[in-house]
Amino acid sequence: MALTQLNLGSELGLEILHQRWYALVLYQLDPAPTDFMDLRVTVRGISTFNLLLRLKRLKEWGLIETLPEDDYSYRLTKAGEMFHQILRELEDWGNDTLENNLAI
Protein backbone atom coordinates (compact mmCIF):
# COMPACT_ATOMS: atom_id res chain seq x y z
CA MET A 1 0.00 0.00 0.00
CA ALA A 2 1.31 3.45 -0.92
CA LEU A 3 1.94 5.85 1.93
CA THR A 4 0.54 9.33 1.34
CA GLN A 5 1.17 10.89 4.73
CA LEU A 6 2.84 10.20 8.05
CA ASN A 7 0.94 9.28 11.18
CA LEU A 8 0.08 12.05 13.65
CA GLY A 9 2.90 11.15 16.01
CA SER A 10 5.46 11.48 13.24
CA GLU A 11 3.87 14.75 12.14
CA LEU A 12 4.23 16.17 15.66
CA GLY A 13 7.86 15.08 15.91
CA LEU A 14 8.65 16.67 12.57
CA GLU A 15 6.84 19.86 13.59
CA ILE A 16 9.07 20.11 16.65
CA LEU A 17 12.17 19.61 14.50
CA HIS A 18 10.93 21.98 11.81
CA GLN A 19 10.32 24.84 14.25
CA ARG A 20 13.86 25.29 15.51
CA TRP A 21 12.89 27.06 18.73
CA TYR A 22 11.12 23.95 20.04
CA ALA A 23 14.18 21.82 19.44
CA LEU A 24 16.55 24.42 20.89
CA VAL A 25 14.49 24.71 24.07
CA LEU A 26 14.24 20.94 24.46
CA TYR A 27 17.96 20.62 23.86
CA GLN A 28 18.73 23.11 26.65
CA LEU A 29 16.47 21.53 29.25
CA ASP A 30 16.99 18.39 31.31
CA PRO A 31 15.10 16.65 34.14
CA ALA A 32 16.51 19.10 36.69
CA PRO A 33 14.63 22.40 36.90
CA THR A 34 15.95 25.30 34.83
CA ASP A 35 14.97 28.87 35.69
CA PHE A 36 13.30 30.85 32.92
CA MET A 37 15.97 33.56 32.98
CA ASP A 38 18.74 30.96 32.62
CA LEU A 39 16.86 29.44 29.68
CA ARG A 40 16.40 32.92 28.22
CA VAL A 41 20.19 33.40 28.24
CA THR A 42 21.01 30.01 26.69
CA VAL A 43 18.39 30.12 23.91
CA ARG A 44 19.65 33.12 21.96
CA GLY A 45 17.81 35.05 19.28
CA ILE A 46 14.22 34.54 20.41
CA SER A 47 12.12 37.21 22.06
CA THR A 48 10.89 36.67 25.59
CA PHE A 49 7.30 36.59 24.36
CA ASN A 50 8.04 33.95 21.71
CA LEU A 51 10.01 31.87 24.19
CA LEU A 52 7.03 31.92 26.55
CA LEU A 53 4.75 30.85 23.69
CA ARG A 54 7.06 27.95 22.78
CA LEU A 55 7.28 26.87 26.42
CA LYS A 56 3.50 26.94 26.70
CA ARG A 57 3.14 24.77 23.60
CA LEU A 58 5.79 22.27 24.77
CA LYS A 59 3.96 22.08 28.09
CA GLU A 60 0.66 21.41 26.28
CA TRP A 61 2.34 18.59 24.36
CA GLY A 62 3.55 17.09 27.64
CA LEU A 63 7.26 17.48 26.87
CA ILE A 64 8.03 19.91 29.68
CA GLU A 65 6.50 20.88 33.00
CA THR A 66 6.76 23.62 35.57
CA LEU A 67 7.31 23.02 39.24
CA PRO A 68 4.21 23.33 41.42
CA GLU A 69 5.94 25.86 43.65
CA ASP A 70 7.61 27.81 40.81
CA ASP A 71 5.85 28.61 37.53
CA TYR A 72 9.08 29.95 36.04
CA SER A 73 11.25 26.87 36.34
CA TYR A 74 10.97 24.27 33.60
CA ARG A 75 12.10 20.67 33.30
CA LEU A 76 11.70 17.81 30.88
CA THR A 77 9.00 15.22 31.44
CA LYS A 78 9.66 11.56 30.59
CA ALA A 79 8.35 12.25 27.08
CA GLY A 80 10.61 15.30 26.88
CA GLU A 81 13.59 13.23 27.96
CA MET A 82 12.83 10.78 25.15
CA PHE A 83 12.71 13.59 22.60
CA HIS A 84 15.89 15.11 24.05
CA GLN A 85 17.61 11.76 23.49
CA ILE A 86 16.31 11.69 19.90
CA LEU A 87 17.82 15.16 19.36
CA ARG A 88 21.18 13.96 20.69
CA GLU A 89 21.09 10.85 18.47
CA LEU A 90 20.16 13.01 15.47
CA GLU A 91 23.11 15.26 16.28
CA ASP A 92 25.44 12.24 16.53
CA TRP A 93 24.16 10.90 13.22
CA GLY A 94 24.64 14.29 11.55
CA ASN A 95 28.14 14.67 12.94
CA ASP A 96 29.12 11.16 11.82
CA THR A 97 27.64 11.72 8.37
CA LEU A 98 29.43 15.03 7.94
CA GLU A 99 32.69 13.58 9.19
CA ASN A 100 32.47 10.60 6.83
CA ASN A 101 31.51 12.74 3.83
CA LEU A 102 34.19 15.33 4.49
CA ALA A 103 36.84 12.60 4.78
CA ILE A 104 36.23 11.47 1.20
Which CATH number fits the domain that encloses residue 38?
A: 1.10.10.10
| Structural domain includes residue 2 | no
Q: How far is CA 40 from CA 50, 54, 58, 64, 80, in A?
A: 11, 12, 15, 16, 19
| Structural domain includes residue 1 | no
Say what the pLDDT of residue 3 is: 60
| Structural domain includes residue 7 | no
Q: How far apart, in Å, do the first and last CA atoms of the chain sit?
A: 38
Mean pLDDT over 3-20 rounds to 80
Domain coverage including residue 30: 14-102
| Structural domain includes residue 59 | yes
- Model confidence, pTM: 0.82
| Structural domain includes residue 6 | no
Closest CA to 63 of 3, 9, 6, 103: 9
Give the chain's domain count: 1
pLDDT of residue 29 exceeding 90, the answer is yes
Structure confidence at residue 75 as a pLDDT band (50, 70, 90): very high
pLDDT of residue 4 exceeding 70, the answer is no
| Structural domain includes residue 45 | yes
